[in-house]
Structure formats: C-alpha cells, structure tokens
C-alpha cells in the first residue's frame, strides 16, 4: 500500500513538473534557426461584385430591430453607382463688365441606359458647359435635354456605353409616410458620394422658391442636405428614389426639401420628348375671395375666385367665362368687379389663388377637360373647359 502511494505521488510530481515547464516562458536563443516566412494566402479575384438587394422580409426585420447599418450600407452599395457629380460652368460679368467663368457643382442620378440624368434646373441653369463625373471617375460632357424651372427639374444626357450606366428605381409618393427612413446621396461641398440619413419629416408642403413660384407636395426631411446635394436622390429603405433634393431652410438645421418623385414621373418624360413641360392653364386673372373681401365688395359668396380678366383666345375665353364689367374703389384700392366667380374645379373648392394653381399643376394635364362651378348673375352653373398650355 505504501509503495502504491509512493508511485502515485511520484507520477503526480512528474506531471506537475512537465506542465510547469510548459507554462514557463522560453528563453530567447540567439543561435536558434530563423523561422520560415509564412506563405501568403492567394487573394481571390472577384470578377463581378454587384450588391444584392435585401429581400423585403429582411428589410422589415431590420426595421423592427433598428439595424441601421444593414439597411443604409446596402442602399449605398447599390445606388451610389447611379449618382453622378455635375460641374456646370456659367459666364458672369465681373466688376469691370468683363466675362468671367464660374463653376458650380451639384448632383444628379442616372434615369435610364440612354444616358438621361435627372437633376435640378438651378444646377444647370444658364450653363455654358456641363461635365458629369460617374462613380468610376469617368468624366464626360453633357448636354441639356429639357428644363422646367417651375418644378426645378432638368434632364441632361451623356454619351457613354450603356454598361457604364446603372439606372435608379423610382418609388411612389403615395406610399410615403412621415417617420419612414430617408437617405440622401450626393456631393455636398465637393465631398463626392456622401451619404446622409434621417427620416421623412413631413409631406405635402408647398415651398415658395421665389415671389411667383411654388413647389407643391414637397418632401421634408431631416437628412442633412447641403450645397452640392442639389439634384441628388432622396431614397427609401429599398433604395428607390422618393424625391430630388432641392432646397434647405435658411438659418435652420436639418430641414431640407425634395421635389416628390411623382412630380418627376409627371414632368421628366415631357422634358425628354419635348424639352419642356406644358403647364395647364385656364387663362384668367382673378382675385381670391375672403370673408373680408366679400364684405367690402358685397359679393354673394365668401370664398372662391373672382375673375377680373379673361385672356382673349384662352381656354376660359373659349368656354365663355366672363371677366369684370365695372370698377370699384374701396379705400385706396381699385377693383375690377362684375365677373364670374369660380367656386370649384372638379368638385374641389377654391379657397385662394394657390389652391387653383396647385390643383392645376398637380392633378391635371394640358388637354384635360375640367368642370367649373361658377356664380353668375346670382345663379350657380357648371361649365366644362378644356385646359390649354400656359404661355411661356
């Protein structure tokens, strides 16, 4: 028994000695042979690397778990190749009235494999020459195909092999919801192919771009938009275009605006085919009626549009609408009264001049037949009118 214990004890001591030696740091041997350099692993050659869109169920899952990186990086990998850098050169007059070239930059996105690119009108307006840089650094000249200042949209075209063109996918304005993700890709301050992300902050806003022009149904977003982003796409989580980034609120942070994609779908085909977009027109000059205005002029209604003048040869003239028949002075103001009062168009009540312009711009096309409800000589009647094209 004692011999067995001695044998076991000796075995344990031997094991501890071996393990202890293995745990001790080994001394550095100056004469040890140099280690053999590892053989590098060959790098696989990628022939085609096209990012695969995430399936809808995975996007829904990512949204549920707020996996921001998964969504945003996938959109960038797929859509950044569709975004272009635009450099437009214009000639301005210096202090001594000498011609001086200036260059402005903006963004755009590839619409089709024919080389058509959508951007803002103000990016290329008045340009003497335009240069487009593709994602692979290819630089090519571009020509203006068509412009529509009223909607701040333009189409330019480049001549490159179709294999270099990666068109975008267009979404639908009707599917947009406040709070959904919004992703902008563009070239702010010359920092090419920059991505910013946020949400859709509001929908359906009118945006006044100058004293006479409004952009209707714009998409408001808090995704950072800066100079150079103009003309670039605003995207949803699927990488579909939901708007064209066009403006920011002066003096405010994270308030940007985009022309809605439905406006792009309506206007751009006409720009490609005709070089311009024909805006529908009644052919009247009118006063918007308010309660105070109606009280001052003893009008029979307190909302609508009082026609002051009908343009000769216009759709309103051909439909028999009547303008003012007399003048009235109220205070220091002169009004032309006695004309027809337009109450509604296609069942939509008119509350001010912008409500009429917005309806015509967003809901109708040149050649459409609309029904007007008017007040004339104390009676209400309906008149059908075929919309014409607004003069340039």
Question: By the 8 A CB rule, do 296 and 279 touch?
Answer: no
Question: Model confidence over 307-320: pLDDT tens digits?
Answer: 999 999 999 999 99
pLDDT of residue 107 exceeding 90, the answer is yes
Query: Given 3.20.20.70, 2.40.10.120, 2.40.50.100, 2.60.40.420, which CATH number is that of 53-273?
Result: 2.40.10.120
Q: What pTM value is reported for the model?
A: 0.79
Q: Record the tokens describing residue 350, joined without a space.
A: 């008119």
Burial status of residue 125 (CB atoms within 10 A of its CB: 0-12, 13-18, 19 or more): middle
CA distances from 237 to 78, 109, 111, 260 (A): 12, 17, 19, 16
Among all residues, which ones are annotated catalytic? 122, 152, 230
Residues ≥6 apart with Cβ < 8 Å to 292: none
Three-state SS at 105:
strand
pLDDT in tens, 185-211: 999 998 999 999 999 999 998 998 877
- CA-nearest of 311, 298, 217, 323 to 264 is 217
In this predicted structure, what is the pLDDT of residue 58? Answer: 67
CATH 2.30.42.10 region(s) of the chain? 280-389
Q: Return residue ranges of the chain for CATH 2.40.10.120.
A: 53-273
pLDDT category at 61 given cuts 50, 70, 90 is low
- For helices 56-65 and 68-79, give the axis angle rounded to 10 degrees: 140
Architecture of domain 280-389: Roll (2.30)
Separation of alpha carbons 315 and 366, rounded Å: 11
Q: Determine the Cα–Cα distance for residues 312 and 195; give it in Å rounded to an integer.
A: 51
Report the half-sphere exposure of 28 (CA within 13 A, side-chain side): 1
């Amino acid at each position: 028994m004692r011999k067995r214990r001695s044998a076991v004890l000796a075995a344990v001591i031997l094991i501890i000695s071996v393990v202890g030696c293995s745990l001790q740091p080994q001394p550095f041997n100056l004469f040890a042979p140099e280690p053999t350099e590892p053989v590098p692993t060959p790098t696989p050659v990628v022939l085609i690397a096209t990012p695969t869109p995430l399936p809808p169920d995975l996007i829904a899952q990512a949204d549920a778990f707020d996996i921001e990186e998964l969504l945003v990086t996938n959109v960038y990998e797929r859509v950044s190749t569709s975004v272009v850098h635009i450099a437009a050169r214009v000639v301005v007059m210096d202090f001594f009235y000498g011609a001086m070239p200036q260059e402005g930059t903006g963004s755009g996105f590839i619409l089709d494999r024919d080389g058509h690119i959508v951007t803002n009108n103000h990016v290329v307006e008045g340009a003497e020459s335009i240069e487009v840089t593709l994602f692979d650094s290819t630089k090519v000249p571009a020509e203006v195909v068509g412009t529509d200042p009223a909607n701040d949209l333009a189409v330019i075209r480049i001549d490159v092999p179709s294999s270099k063109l990666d068109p975008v996918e267009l979404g639908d304005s009707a599917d947009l919801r406040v709070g959904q993700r919004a992703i902008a890709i563009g070239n702010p301050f010359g920092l090419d192919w920059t991505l910013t992300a946020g949400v859709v902050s509001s929908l359906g806003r009118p945006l006044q771009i100058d004293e006479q022009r409004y952009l209707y149904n714009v998409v408001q977003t808090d995704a950072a938009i800066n100079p150079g982003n103009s003309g670039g796409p605003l995207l949803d989580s699927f990488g579909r275009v939901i708007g064209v980034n066009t403006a920011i609120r002066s003096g405010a942070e994270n308030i940007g605006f985009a022309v809605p994609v439905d406006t792009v779908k309506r206007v751009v085909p006409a720009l490609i085919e005709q070089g311009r977009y024909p805006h529908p027109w009644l052919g009247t000059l009118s006063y918007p009626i308010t309660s105070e205005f109606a009280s001052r002029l003893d009008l029979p209604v307190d909302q609508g549009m009082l026609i002051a003048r009908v343009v000769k040869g216009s759709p309103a003239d051909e439909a028999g609408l009547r303008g003012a028949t007399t003048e009235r002075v109220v205070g220091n103001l002169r009004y032309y009264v006695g004309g027809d009062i337009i109450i509604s168009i296609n069942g939509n009540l008119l509350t001010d001049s912008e409500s009429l312009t917005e309806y015509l711009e967003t809901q109708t096309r040149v050649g459409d037949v609309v029904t007007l409800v008017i007040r004339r000589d104390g009676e209400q009647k309906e008149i059908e009118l075929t919309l014409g094209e607004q003069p340039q």
